[in-house]
Structure 1
Amino acid sequence: MKLDEILIVLDPGHGGKDPGAVGKLGLRESDVVLSVCLILAENLRSYGVPVKLTREVDEFLSLAERCDLANSAKATLFLSVHCNASTTGATGIETFHMLGSVKGAEFAGCLQDSLLDEFTESNDRGVKQESYYVLRKTKMAAALAELEFIDVAEKEELFSQSHVLAAYADALLDGILAMLGIAKRVPLIAKGLPTLPSGREKRCSERRKLVIKGLVAVAGNLEAEAKAMRKLTEEVLTWEEEAGE
C-alpha cells in the first residue's frame, strides 16, 4: 500500500467534560492520552503517513462522532488511546480489538508487542476481544490501547513526565509501522531516546500467524472462539517465555 493510500485516525480518549480516569494526584487520563497522540501524530507524519485526530484540544466528543470521523475519512487504521484504572491496584498494559476481527487482532497484537518492548517492567495483560463502541462501529482495523493504570501512584508519576509520554508515542508508532510493513527509523521527535530492541517484526509476525489461525478456525462461533482465544493466549505467552521475553 502506498503512503498516499494510508490514513491513520488517532483517537485520544475522553476530553472536555469527560476527563476519564483521574489519578490520586489529579492527573487526568484525557490530558495524558492527548499528549501521547499529538506526539504520535507528528512521528507518523515524519514518515509521510497521513494522520487525523478525533480531537487535538481538550474537548468532548461523543463515541459516535469519533467513529463517524474515521468512517467518513475511510481510515486504514483506527487507534483509540486510553489510560486504565482499577479499584484493585492492578497494573499493566492491554490492547483490545473487536470480537472476531482478524485485522483488528493483528493490529492489537503489533501494538501490544511494541508497548511491552518499550516498557519491559509493565505487566502483560494481553491482547483481548471486546465489543467496545469504537471498535464495533468503525469500519476499518481498529484497536484500543490501555497504556497503564493512572490510579496507581507510581504510574501516575510516570505519566506526568514528558519523556515517558514520548516513549509511549514511540512504542505505538512502532506498532503502527509494523502493521503497515514500514521499516523503522528513529522518529524526529524521539531522537535521543533509547532505540527499540531488534526482532519486533518477527514477534509481530508470529503473533499474527497465531491470531489468524485461531480466529479463522472458530469463525462464526463465539463460544468456541472464546475458548480458542484463551488457548491462543496461553500459546503466545509460552512462545514469549521460550523466546526469552
Structure 2
Amino acid sequence: MLLIIDPGHGGADPGGGTNQHWKEKDLALQISQYQERRFKELGISVSLTRTTDITLASGQRTNLVKASGAKYCISNHINAGGGEGAETIHSIYSDGKLANSIIDAIAAAGQKKRRVFTRTLPNNPKKDYYFMIRETGTAQTVIVEYGFADNAADTKRLLDHWQDYAEAVVKALCQHMGHPYMTPQKEKTALEKALDVFVQQGIITTPDYWLQNAVPGGMVKGEYAAIMIEKAANKLRGV
C-alpha cells in the first residue's frame, strides 16, 4: 500500500470544523472518497481509514495507518477558530516538502494559503503534538486543513471549490512521488452520451453540429432533423 487517506473525525465525533452547511466529518469523508477514486484512476494503491460515518478512537485510527504499511498518509480536516485559508501540518522529523507542495497546490486552485507548520508536545519538544503524526509509524503523515468553517469567505470557497482543492492534493502527491498525473476526465452530458449512441448506430456522423445547435435557443436545419428522424425510425423498426 502506497497511500492511506484519513477522513478526520466520524460517528459520534462531528469535528470542530462544522457549520450550518456541513459537518466536518462528512465533508472530510467526501473529500477523501473523491481522492481515493482519483488515485485509483491514476494507478496508485490507496485505502481509507473509514469509508462510512463510524467512530474511530485515536488508537484505532493510527493502528489502521500502521497496519496498511502505507508510505504516505493524508489526514483530511476542516478548521475552525477564527482564521482563514488552508493549512498543512507535518512532522518535526519531516523535511516539509510534501506539506509545502500540498499547500502550494491548494493555493494554486484558488484557496488562500495560511501556513505550513509543525508542533511539539509542551512537555517533550522531541515528540510531535498531533497523534495522527506522532503515532502513525513509518508513514509520512500530512494533516490538511482545507479552510475554516467559521469564516464566511472560506465557507463559500469550500462549498464552490472543495473538489478543486481535493484534486490539488492528488496532483501534489503525484508530483512528489514522481508518479504520472492526468487531469480528471470530464463527465459527459446526457446529450453527449445520446449523440455517442447515435454515432455508433449510424444515425448521425456530425455530433459536433448537434452539440452546438441542439441546445436551448439553438436552431437545427430541418433537413438534418428529418434525416436523423428517418434513420432513427429505421433503426427502431430494424430496417
- Per the normalisation by structure 2, the TM-score is 0.69
Whose Rg is larger? 2
- Per the alignment, residue 211 of structure 1 pairs with none
Which of 87, 91, 116 is the aligned partner of 1:127? Answer: 116
Cα offsets for 1:146-167 (capped at 9, x unmatched): 1100112332244344xx2211
- Per the alignment, residue 135 of structure 2 pairs with 137
- Per the alignment, residue 192 of structure 2 pairs with none
Which residues in structure 2 correspond to 1:57-76 (within 5 Å)?
Answer: 57-76=52-71
What amino acid is aligned across from residue 143 of structure 1 in structure 2? V
**Residues 52 and 46 (structure 1), Cα distance of their counterparts in 2 relative to 1, 3 Å cut:** same
- Per the alignment, residue 240 of structure 1 pairs with none
User: Quick check: 2:5–2:32 contact (8 Å CA) kept in 1?
Assistant: yes
Deviates more, 1:42-51 or 1:56-65: 56-65
**Residues 181 and 90 (structure 1), Cα distance of their counterparts in 2 relative to 1, 3 Å cut:** same
- Per the alignment, residue 116 of structure 1 pairs with 107
1:187 pairs with 2:184: yes
Question: Which whole-Å CA distance do the structure 2 matches of 1:184 and 1:101 have between them?
Answer: 24
Cα offsets for 1:70-126 (capped at 9, x unmatched): 11111010110101101xx32011100111223xx2221221111111125x1x222
Question: Which whole-Å CA distance do the structure 1 matches of 2:186 and 2:170 have between them?
Answer: 11
- Per the alignment, residue 170 of structure 1 pairs with 167
- Per the alignment, residue 95 of structure 1 pairs with 88
Percent of paired sites with the same residue: 28
Q: Give unpaired runs (5+ residues) of structure 2.
A: 120-127, 190-239
User: Quick check: 2:6–2:32 contact (8 Å CA) kept in 1?
Assistant: yes
Question: Which whole-Å CA distance do the structure 1 matches of 2:140 and 2:43 have between them?
Answer: 20
Instruction: Please give the secondary structure, in 2, of the residue aligned with 1:75.
Output: coil
Aligned residues between the structures? 179
Deviation at 1:41, TM superposition (A): 0.5
**Residues 157 and 46 (structure 1), Cα distance of their counterparts in 2 relative to 1, 3 Å cut:** same
User: Quick check: 1:32–1:159 contact (8 Å CA) kept in 2?
Assistant: no
Deviation at 1:185, TM superposition (A): 1.3
Deviation at 1:53, TM superposition (A): 0.2
**Residues 11 and 190 (structure 1), Cα distance of their counterparts in 2 relative to 1, 3 Å cut:** farther
User: Quick check: 2:90–2:133 contact (8 Å CA) kept in 1?
Assistant: yes
**Residues 55 and 111 (structure 1), Cα distance of their counterparts in 2 relative to 1, 3 Å cut:** same
- Runs (4+) of structure 1 moved beyond 4 Å? 189-192
Deviation at 1:22, TM superposition (A): 4.7
Question: Which whole-Å CA distance do the structure 2 matches of 1:70 and 1:24 have between them?
Answer: 28
Instruction: Please give the secondary structure, in 2, of the residue aligned with 1:98.
Output: coil
Cα offsets for 1:126-184 (capped at 9, x unmatched): 211122101011121110011100112332244344xx221121111011111211132
Deviation at 1:191, TM superposition (A): 9.0
Please provide the CA RMSD for this pair: 2.0
Instruction: Please give the secondary structure, in 2, of the residue aligned with 1:143.
Output: strand
**Residues 40 and 189 (structure 1), Cα distance of their counterparts in 2 relative to 1, 3 Å cut:** farther
**Residues 23 and 69 (structure 1), Cα distance of their counterparts in 2 relative to 1, 3 Å cut:** closer
- Per the alignment, residue 11 of structure 1 pairs with 6
Instruction: Please give the secondary structure, in 2, of the residue aligned with 1:94.
Output: strand
- Per the alignment, residue 201 of structure 1 pairs with none
